[in-house]
Amino acid sequence: MLNEPKRPIALLGVPLEAGTGRRGAAMGPAALRVADLEGRLSALGWQVEDLGDLAPLDKTTVAPLRLDGAAHLPETVAAWVRPLCDRAYEISAGGKLPIFLGGDHSLSMGSVSGVARHWQDEGRSLFVLWLDAHADFNTPETSPSGNMHGMSLALAAGEPSLAPVMGDTPRATVAPERMCVFGARSIDPGERRLLRERGVTVCDMRQIDENGVSILMREFLNKVKSENGVLHVSLDVDFLDPDIAPGVGTTVPGGATYREAHLVMELLEDAGVTVSLDVVELNPFLDERGRSAIALAELVASLFGQDVMDRPTQAFA
Catalytic residue among 53, 105, 241, 266: 105
Question: For 188-204, how does the pLDDT look when each residue is reduced to its tens digit (9 = 90+)?
Answer: 999 999 999 999 999 99
Q: Is the pLDDT of residue 119 over 60?
A: yes
Beta strand pairing status for 230-236 and 126-131? Answer: parallel
Catalytic residue among 238, 266, 270, 287: 238
Give yes or no: 232 in active site.
no
Give yes or no: 72 in active site.
no
Give yes or no: 132 in active site.
yes
Catalytic residue among 53, 104, 136, 191: 136
CB 178 within 8 A of CB 126: yes
Confidence label for 312 from pLDDT (cuts 50, 70 and 90): low
62 vs 7, 8, 113, 168, 277, CA distance in Å? 34, 33, 19, 11, 27
Question: For 136-160, how does the pLDDT look when each residue is reduced to its tens digit (9 = 90+)?
Answer: 999 999 999 999 999 999 999 999 9
CA 182 to chain centre: 11
Give yes or no: 238 in active site.
yes
Give yes or no: 236 in active site.
yes
pLDDT value at position 208? Answer: 97
pLDDT value at position 307? Answer: 80
Question: For 30-40, how does the pLDDT look when each residue is reduced to its tens digit (9 = 90+)?
Answer: 999 999 999 99
Give yes or no: 118 in active site.
no
Calculate the average pLDDT of the chain.
95
Catalytic residue among 86, 266, 281, 287: 281
Give yes or no: 262 in active site.
no
Q: What angle do CA 173, 147, 111 make, to 5 degrees?
A: 30
Catalytic residue among 134, 159, 241, 269: 134
Reported pTM: 0.95
- Which strands, in side-by-side order, build the sheet including 97-102? 48-53, 9-14, 97-102, 274-280, 230-236, 126-131, 179-184, 201-204
